[in-house]
Structure 1
Amino acid sequence: MSSTKAKKEVFCIHHILTAYDKETGFTLDDIDVNLCTYLVYAYFGITESGHLVSKRPMLDHYKENVIKFNNLKNDNGELKTLLAIGGWENENSPKYSNVAADPGKKRNFIRSTTEFIKKYNFDGIALHWCFPGMFGGDPIYDKINFSRWLKQIKNEFARLDFKLMVMVQGEVNNIDLSYDVPGINESVDFIFLTTYDLYGKWRDHIGIHSGLYKSPNANVDYLNADFVVRNWIENGAAPEKLIMGIPFFGRTFTLADANENQPGAKFSYVGEHGEFMDYLNICKNTKNGNWILKWDSDAMGPYSYNGNQWVGYDNIQSIQIKGKYIDKYKLGGAAGIFIEDDDFRGICDNEKYPLLSTLAKAMGLNVKKEISKLLININLQKKNKKNQEQEVVLNHNEKFEL
């Protein structure tokens, strides 16, 4: 994976629940280990007493998914793996608040996590406590307790040479209420920024949920990735520790008026098939002619619509632009979330992992573009002196590398 460009980190986040609910049948064999510097297994949870616990034991243990996941390192000697803990599913803020406030429960967490990392050959964890101080958490003490918890984890992990990443929400009010930025920065190796999910059903207008810059119709300044990054830096985060989260899914809306379809328009609810749409389906929708693809030159991101159905997302072009942004501000790298939401088999783009490959290349990894299920028609026309035409058509359905 050597390159003349200095490599930045590429975190490939794999969500077991998302992956195995897919009709495409994503498996660990579909992961391209050469497109990542870190593979992240999401998510485990914790008990009320702070002990690490599997959310999907049938997948994690009985099917030996955790073992198979870490065995992927055999195919790339430079690859590291992290276990993501927390997230949304059944991981409420009060539980994490109680653990962060209790010395004994914090010891349980550190002890059980350390044992698990050693047993299954992980290289560290990514801790994702959603919304400290909010949604039933302690608005007074969560901020400092979280920072102290991370410091205690790091003290133990440093002794064992384990990595610690914290995954944080991006909105401005989360820093004020939830995060002691200087304390977090001192205690962790990486800070994963949720520079997406900035628009959704809780807003009063539509927008690209992962737009890099402000769209002129947005009624606030902070619903964009640029604001999130600069806000964390201004509050004390080291740029080289910041990891920009880049979603491989879009957020959908049902427009209040099908004729009002630009960012900033009103909506009635999420899309009729759910509030999320993975990149593969977005790609297929825009290529079959039913959905109209547009580019927001202010937010630097794409959106598409069909009647009153609308989705904002990231594509190859927007990820290339974000790659230049990451270089400009000397950030530590980026994370693709979730890798199974990409066109991982090249069904639509005729290239496996078009988004992840673009991201990896932008971060300085040496990417070999793999194309599959591609029909190549080469028409060689030869005219003889009598203007006769001969056509030779060569059809190939096998994969190859460029």
Structure 2
Amino acid sequence: MMSRTAIVLFLVSLYLPIQYAAAEKLKVRAGSWMSDGNFFSEINSKLFTHLLYAEAYVNTSPFEVEIFPSDEPEFVTFSKKVKEKNPSVKTLLSIWGEAEYALMMRNPSSISSFIRSAQNISRRHGFDGVDLYWDYPKTKADKEHMESLFQEWRKYIHANDSELILTATVPYSPDWPHHDKHVSFYPIRSMARYLDWVHLVPFHYLFDQRINVSAAHSAFYDPTSYCSTAYGISNWIRGGLMPSKIVMGLPFSGYAWNLPDPKNNNLGVQTGKVQIYRALGMMTYKEIRGIIPLCGGKTRYSDTHKIYHFSCGSTWIGFDDVKTIKIKVSYAKEHKLLGYVAWRVSYDDNGLLSRAGRFS
């Protein structure tokens, strides 16, 4: 008969592989990178399966992908450097455009030029895939053109580069910015068919340009509106995007408002003009961590919205911390999503949120 100690050791040996397997359920643990004055050598690429480099852009003639000259030195070595730390990490080049895409779609030869140049520039510099960032199609024609682009791109990949990863980055919900669940600005079923997966932008659900109350700009739940991560994911799925194609965004940033009355500093109070720390009031997690001790060191947690917030004089700041990142990653696992993307890795503070996601 086995001793009690032997039984305990046996059970532990069974438990550990189960825990490890659970941690590996998410196939995509991605991070989006934009330098913002930082250096990508700071990235711990071992914490990620995929890293997106932002951003490339599309010129308007002959509609080819280009890199800003100031980004060129960093861009050409990005894939090589992050793979030195983690040879298995995959890198994707994120290509941003809006008006350029709309112009490009009017001419089939322009679409072909764009697709070829995107493949050439990404492969030439060691990238494993391409990500298309288009805020949202503004018209029915744009929506149809986007569908054609994804179809042609997939056809090109099948014929010329079958290993190239093809993804898109889109708002947290397909009805953004109008929040009408019966309206989608995206060809969702074609996205499910032609894309490897889709990254959901995890913030700016609510911000000062739309409302004048302190709000959870990256709320996980929001019982009073459609503006939440959980709503957005369910809306994409309702429209035809399978959970196995969804990569949920994790915000490594917060948002700041001005308070007319510093004593009235709860979530959802009337506010004034936004406090500009960054564009649109956005602050990085690292900036927020640096400010908290200067503001008394106390934060509050909204169990309803799954966010943290605090006030500093007349400024109110809402943000995600380690606990909320873990909650969102657990949700992704429970709902069998493909994974998550940290937005952005450079906003983190010594890898605190990156590690919270990886080991949740």
Which segment is superposed worse, 329-338 or 173-182?
A: 173-182
Which among 105, 110, 113 is matched to residue 115 of structure 2? Answer: 110
Distance 1:101 1:146 in 2: 11
Match of 1:4? Answer: 21
What pairs with 1:185-200 in structure 2 (closer than 5 Å)? Answer: 185-200=192-207
Is the 2:310–2:316 contact (alpha carbons within 8 Å) kept by the matching residues of 1?
A: yes
Give secondary structure in 2 for the equivalent of 1:143.
helix
Write out per-residue CA displacement over residues 57-104 of structure 1, whole angstroms, 9 at most, x where no aligned residue: 1332xx253224333213322110000010xxxx4x322111123211
Whichever residue aligns with residue 356 of structure 2, its letter is T
The 3 A distance-change label for structure 1 pair 255 and 28 is same
Greater than 6 Å deviation, 4+ residue runs: none
| Larger proportion of helix | 2
Is the 2:44–2:85 contact (alpha carbons within 8 Å) kept by the matching residues of 1?
A: no
Match of 2:84? Answer: 74
Amino-acid identity (%): 23
Is the 2:295–2:311 contact (alpha carbons within 8 Å) kept by the matching residues of 1?
A: no
Q: CA deviation at 1:184?
A: 1.0
Distance 1:257 1:325 in 2: 36
Match of 2:352? Answer: 354
What pairs with 1:179-190 in structure 2 (closer than 5 Å)? Answer: 179-190=186-197
- Greater RCO, 1 or 2 (C-alpha within 8 Å, sep 6+): 2
Distance 2:90 2:120 in 1: 17
Distance 1:99 1:332 in 2: 31
Which among 131, 144, 165 is matched to residue 136 of structure 2? Answer: 131
Match of 2:244? Answer: 240
Write out per-residue CA displacement over residues 315-350 of structure 1, whole angstroms, 9 at most, x where no aligned residue: 000011111111111101001111111013xxxxxx
What pairs with 1:36-185 in structure 2 (closer than 5 Å)? Answer: 36-49=48-61, 50-55=63-68, 57-60=69-72, 63-86=73-96, 91=97, 93-133=98-138, 139-159=139-159, 160=161, 161-171=163-173, 173-174=175-176, 176-185=183-192
Q: CA deviation at 1:278?
A: 1.0
What pairs with 1:338-377 in structure 2 (closer than 5 Å)? Answer: 338-344=344-350, 353-362=351-360
Whichever residue aligns with residue 319 of structure 2, its letter is Y
Alignment partner of 1:227 is 2:235: no
Write out per-residue CA displacement over residues 160-205 of structure 1, whole angstroms, 9 at most, x where no aligned residue: 1100111111245338352011111111011111231112122222
Write out per-residue CA displacement over residues 280-333 of structure 1, whole angstroms, 9 at most, x where no aligned residue: 121122234436411011001111111220111110000111111111111010
Distance 2:334 2:60 in 1: 43
Whichever residue aligns with residue 208 of structure 1, its letter is A
Is the 1:35–1:360 contact (alpha carbons within 8 Å) kept by the matching residues of 2?
A: yes
Q: Structure 1: where are the runs of 5+ without partners?
A: 21-25, 134-138, 345-352, 363-402
Give secondary structure in 1 for the equivalent of 2:21.
coil
How large is the Cα RMSD of the aligned pairs? 1.8
Distance 1:314 1:266 in 2: 21
Q: Structure 2: where are the runs of 5+ without partners?
A: 1-16
Is the 1:171–1:222 contact (alpha carbons within 8 Å) kept by the matching residues of 2?
A: no
